[in-house]
Amino acid sequence: AQSVTQLDSQVPVFEEAPVELRCNYSSSVSVYLFWYVQYPNQGLQLLLKYLSGSTLVKGINGFEAEFNKSQTSFHLRKPSVHISDTAEYFCASGAEGRRALTFGSGTRLQVQP
């Protein structure tokens, strides 16, 4: 069985500061990892994905994430955040042979001026 743990429920940060949102996963099979962003009253938008290959993946809006197999982590980073990055961020995993995604509980990023 798969599980995804997002270690922080809320992350407050000042505008233009760097941010890291933490995600750990557990899976007994090859795993695919994703980060999604959800703005208020909207669906989920795919930020970035790790399917295979380079462990550092770059996504939209200046976000990137690093797949670390030994630590079973997939932390999301951005070097300089904007007010518009305020949203809920979800880490999700999928597995070979099963296309359903398992989501974490979400991290609310609050960017303050």
Minimum distance, C-beta of residue 29 to another protein, in the bound complex (Å): 13
Minimum distance, C-beta of residue 19 to another protein, in the bound complex (Å): 19
Q: Decide if 19 contacts 77 (C-beta within 8 A).
A: yes
**Cβ burial, residue 10 (10 Å; 0-12/13-18/19+):** exposed
Residues that bind another protein (CB under 8 A): 4, 32, 34, 36, 41-46, 49, 51, 90, 92, 94, 98-106
Minimum distance, C-beta of residue 35 to another protein, in the bound complex (Å): 11
Please provide residue 61's backbone torsions phi and psi, each rounded to the nearest 5 degrees. 60, 25
C-beta of 17 vs 46, nearer to another protein: 46
